[in-house]
Amino acid sequence: PCRSFHGYNRLLTSHITSHYDSINQCKKELPEYFNFASDVLDEWSQLEKDGRKPANPAFWWVNEEGEEVKWSFEELGFLSRKAANVLSEACGLQRGDRVIIVLPRVPEWWLLNVACMRTGIVLIPGTSQLTAKDILYRLQASKAKCIITSDTLAPAVESVVSDSQFLKSKLIVGKGSRDGWLNLKELL
């Protein structure tokens, strides 16, 4: 059964199930390449634009202070394309490159996840409890070309960055600026 959201079915469960069943029964071919951002999020955005699906939030985040961020499918698509451009252009990343994201679960965490899916960049998530030694190990083992973190975790990255020969760009999610770091909010 579907959960109700503002009087509308939140999930198109019957549509999703019938699509899955048709693939399982070989009535539809599996796509050679699948991209969640373009094949699902952008499709749902188009359904909303065409009036074939009621407008529901694609993303709804609320923190402990009651601040909230709510994005429609269209907004999430637009913002994730902008974030993908930041990763590709400002950070110089390409399909298959690895990026480590060490952030608490703020809206930018999800936005960057979708941007990585959109571009084919490999996302390596890390908890904000990582130490400088943990970060260095992950940078070296993954050969990540970019790291994305917050103002508070940037000093830990800076303390080990000289030992990571593959790292090309550092992206900070926050209000402040740091020497040698790109700022996501400014670039968006």
Domain annotation covers residue 75: yes
Determine the pLDDT at residue 27: 67
Q: What angle do CA 101, 107, 110 make, to 5 degrees?
A: 55
Domain enclosing residue 69, as ranges: 36-186
How many independent structural domains does the chain possess? 1
For residue 96, give the nearest of 143, 164, 135 by alpha carbon: 143
Domain annotation covers residue 17: no
pLDDT digits (tens, 9 = 90+) for 21-76: 666 677 667 677 888 898 888 988 898 888 888 878 999 999 999 999 999 999 99
pLDDT digits (tens, 9 = 90+) for 89-147: 999 999 999 999 999 989 999 999 999 999 999 999 999 999 999 999 999 999 999 99
Q: Is the pTM of this model over 0.85?
A: no
In terms of Cβ atoms closer than 10 Å to its own Cβ (0-12, 13-18, 19+), residue 21 is exposed
Domain annotation covers residue 127: yes
Domain annotation covers residue 27: no
Domain annotation covers residue 9: no
15 versus 167: the higher-pLDDT residue is: 167
Domain annotation covers residue 30: no
Domain annotation covers residue 126: yes
Domain annotation covers residue 53: yes
Residues 111 and 145: beta-carbon distance below 8 Å: no
CATH number for position 70 = 3.40.50.980
